Amino acid sequence: MTSEDFFKRIETQYHNQLPFVVYRKPNENNIFALRQNNTDLFFTEDFTEKGFVFSPFDELDKSVLIPTDVSEAISTDSIISKSYTEHVEVSNTNNLASSESKTFHTNLINKGVEAIKNDALKKVVLSRKENISLKEANPITIFKRLLNTYKSAFVYCWYHPKIGLWLGATPETLIKIEGKRFSIMALAGTQDFKGTLNVVWQNKEKQEQQFVTDFIIDNLKTAIESYKVSDVETVKAGNLLHLKTMVSAQLKSDVSLKEVITALHPTPAVCGLPKEEAKQFILKNEGYNREFYTGFLGELNFETKVSPRSGRRNIENRAYTVTKKCTQLYVNLRCMQIINQQAIIYVGGGITTSSNAESEWQETVSKSLVIKSVL
Interface positions with ligand ISC (CB under 6 A): 125, 127, 172, 187-190, 242, 269-270, 333-334, 347-350, 367
DSSP-derived secondary structure letter, 92 = -
Straight-line distance from the first to the last Cα atom of the chain, in angstroms, rounded to the nearest whole number: 28
Cβ proximity to ligand ISC, 73 vs 199, nearer residue: 199
Cβ proximity to ligand ISC, 201 vs 302, nearer residue: 201
Cβ proximity to ligand ISC, 47 vs 346, nearer residue: 346
Question: Cβ(167)–Cβ(335) under 8 Å?
Answer: yes
Strands 64-67 and 31-36: unpaired
Cβ proximity to ligand ISC, 51 vs 295, nearer residue: 295
Measured between alpha carbons, how far is 358 from 361 in angstroms, rounded to an integer?
5
CB of 3 to ligand ISC, least distance (A): 29
Question: Cβ(296)–Cβ(265) under 8 Å?
Answer: yes
Cβ proximity to ligand ISC, 113 vs 270, nearer residue: 270
Peptide bond into 274 cis (omega under 30): yes
**Residue 113, Cβ neighbours under 10 Å: how many?**
21
Measured between alpha carbons, how far is 26 from 28 in angstroms, rounded to an integer?
6
Cβ proximity to ligand ISC, 25 vs 367, nearer residue: 367
Cβ proximity to ligand ISC, 51 vs 268, nearer residue: 268
**Amino acid letter, residue 15:** H
Beta bridge partners of 42: 65
Scanning the chain, the segments in alpha helix (DSSP H) are 3-15, 95-117, 139-149, 203-220, 257-264, 275-285, 315-318, 357-372
CB of 348 to ligand ISC, least distance (A): 4
CB of 151 to ligand ISC, least distance (A): 18
Question: Cβ(61)–Cβ(272) under 8 Å?
Answer: no
Length of the chain as a residue count: 375
CB of 359 to ligand ISC, least distance (A): 11
> 134-149 b/e with 16+ CB inside 10 Å = b?
beebebbbbbbbbbee
CB of 369 to ligand ISC, least distance (A): 11
**Residue 324, Cβ neighbours under 10 Å: how many?**
15
Q: Which of helix, strand or coil describes residue 315? A: helix
CB of 240 to ligand ISC, least distance (A): 8
Cβ proximity to ligand ISC, 30 vs 239, nearer residue: 239
Question: Cβ(193)–Cβ(345) under 8 Å?
Answer: no
CB of 94 to ligand ISC, least distance (A): 19
CB of 339 to ligand ISC, least distance (A): 19
